[in-house]
Structure 1
Amino acid sequence: MVGLLQDKVAVVTGGSSGNGRAMAMAFAHEGADVVVADLQAEPREGGTPTHELVMAETDRRAKFVRCDVTNVADLEAAVEEADEFGGVDVMVNNAGIFRAEEFLDVTEEEYDALMDINVKGVFFGSQAAAKKMVEKGGGNIVNISSVAGLQGSGEYVTYNTSKGAVRLMTYALASKFGPQGIRVNAIHPGLIETTMTTEDVPIFGTEQEDAFVETIPSRRAGTPEDVANAAVFLASDLGGYVNGESLVVDGGMSSTL
């Protein structure tokens, strides 16, 4: 059976864990070869490294490349690795971090750390991929933003700023590269159960969990697979006329805010 991404080549930053891992696996199951670009191969949630799991569960090729998205040379090298499989067709700028510092207490160092990963990484990841896609005659870039990139919150000013930048960057890149056959879209996940929401900023397993979920019209939190399904749609021909779009994957949460 031919997959939606048959014989495409995808690079996924932050692909070892969470949403990135789910997207890499979903792409492979739809026929793509995958480059997993991350700081470490081992998933934060435990288990088999993503690139190994791809090869064990599918007939697709996969490899891991160490990539610090704050380093432009690392991003360029990760995209170059895709040449071994035929060159990048799909670039997923997924790597990101969450911070919730009090605005009046945010230091320059904290600000720079967040922006370097959440904005600089997306900017130069897109640049590295676009250079290759222009030569190849087309491609898809999928940027992972957040519902925090759509609406502001006094508790998350720095994070809102970074994810809002990703949203507008996506619109600008779609306008620039659409005529060259490159579609650029953003996914805005809501409350997704990953190590970010179980460990970094614990919501799951706390008293907050039930109350938070009750604010979501779908009455459940999202899974990494929900995000992966959206990414497959955007990266495949099913989304062939979708460009410069913000696809919200939040169970309706943002509609109630």
Structure 2
Amino acid sequence: MTQVLEDEVAVITGGASGIGRAIARRFAADGADIVIADIQDTPREGGKPTHELIDEETEAETAYVECDVSSVDDLESAVAAADEFGGVTVMVNNAGIFHGEEFLETEEEAFDRMMNINVKGVYFGAQAAARRMVEADGGSIINLSSVAGLEGAGEFVTYCGTKGAVRLLTYAMASVLGPEDVRVNTIHPGLIETTMTTDDVSIIGSEDEDAFLESIPSRRAGQPDEIADAAVYLASEQSSYVTGESLVVDGGMTNTQ
């Protein structure tokens, strides 16, 4: 069976948990070597570290690099770690945080932290990877945004701002890097069942869950593997003529509101 990511080398920020963990495992199963770049290797949802699990499941080469994506030096080190496997060809800027605060009550420290991780981390993660891709034979950069980057939600002003920034950064990066054969796209997940939606946002498992699911045509939350499927498409030659695009994976939520 052909592995669509054979010979690819992927760096995945936030790859220890949630959506990043699912993307890393799927990429490895499809033939890619993987660098997990995360602040810790322990998955938030529990279980073995992602790189150890991949070692058991596949023949992929793996590495874990401790990485705070708000640090440009850490991002450079994470991308450089891929040189051991031949150099980065796919960059997945997945790491992100969420906290909901009323707009009139948001403090500068909380605002800066979310911007540094959700926006700065994407910007300089993409930059570090793109520099190497331009010198090589091109590559694919995948930035994780959110449906919150497509429409505003009053209770999530800062988060919406960061995810909207990721969307527009993606369009601009695609314009700059297209002539260098580097594709840049973004994925906008909807309600996905991870610790972010069970603990941080507290939608899944809450008394409001049923009402929220009623707003989604598919009538269910998505699974991290369903975002991983989209990422495989954008990382592979299956999307060789796709750049500067937003791939929305939300069960129809944003298209029907």
- TMscore range, shorter length: over 0.9
Give, in whole Å, the separation in 2 of the partners of 1:233 and 1:173.
Answer: 19
* Structure 2 gap ranges (5+): none
156-165 vs 201-210, which moves further: 201-210
Aligned to 1:85: 85
Equivalent-residue separation in structure 2 for 1:248 and 1:183 (angstroms): 17
- 1:203 is displaced (CA, Å) by 1.2
1:55-81 CA distance string (max 9 Å, x none): 100111111000000000000000000
C-alpha separation between the residues in 2 aligned to 1:219 and 1:66?
A: 37
CA apart distance, 1:214 = 1.4
Q: Secondary structure at the match of 1:124?
A: helix
> Which string of whole-angstrom CA distances, capped at 9 and with x for unpartnered residues, describes residues 106-157 of structure 1?
1111110010000000000000000110111200000000000011121111
* Residues 165-244 of structure 1 aligned to structure 2 (within 5 Å): 165-244=165-244
**Off by >4 Å, runs of 4+ in structure 1:** none
- In structure 1, what is the equivalent of residue 98 of structure 2? 98
CA distance in structure 1 between the aligned counterparts of 2:256 and 2:157, rounded to whole angstroms = 20
One-letter identity of the residue aligned with 2:56:
A
AA of the residue aligned to 2:220: R
Aligned pairs, how many? 257
Partner of 2:137: 137
Aligned to 1:154: 154
CA–CA distance in structure 2, aligned partners of residues 204 and 162 of structure 1: 22
CA shift digits 1:48-106 (9 cap, x unpaired): 11001111001111110000000000000000000000000000000001121100111
Q: Does 1:14 align with 2:14?
A: yes
Q: 2:87 aligned with 1:113, yes or no?
A: no
What's the CA shift string for 1:154-202, capped at 9, x where partnerless?
A: 1111111100000000000000000100000000000000000111111
Matches within 5 A, 1:41-60: 41-60=41-60
Equivalent position amino acid for 1:53 in 2: L
The CA distance in 2 between the partners of 1:137 and 1:233, in whole Å, is 19
Query: Equivalent residue for 1:67?
Result: 67
Instruction: State the 1:2 CA deviation.
Output: 2.3
Question: After alignment, is 204-213 or 79-88 more displaced?
Answer: 204-213
Give the letter aligned to residue 38 of structure 1.
D
Distance (Å, rounded) in 1 between the aligned partners of 2:5 and 2:165: 28
Q: Distance in 2 between matches of 1:56 and 1:155?
A: 42
Structure 2 Cα separation of the partners of residues 75 and 150 of structure 1: 27
Look up the equivalent residue of 2:184 and give its one-letter code: V
User: What is the DSSP-based 3-state SS (H/G/I as helix, E as strand, rest coil) of the residue aligned with 1:156?
Assistant: helix
Q: Per-residue displacement from partner, 1:5-55 (whole Å, max 9, x unpaired)?
A: 001100000000000000000100100000000011110101111001111
Normalising to structure 2: TM-score of the pair? 0.99
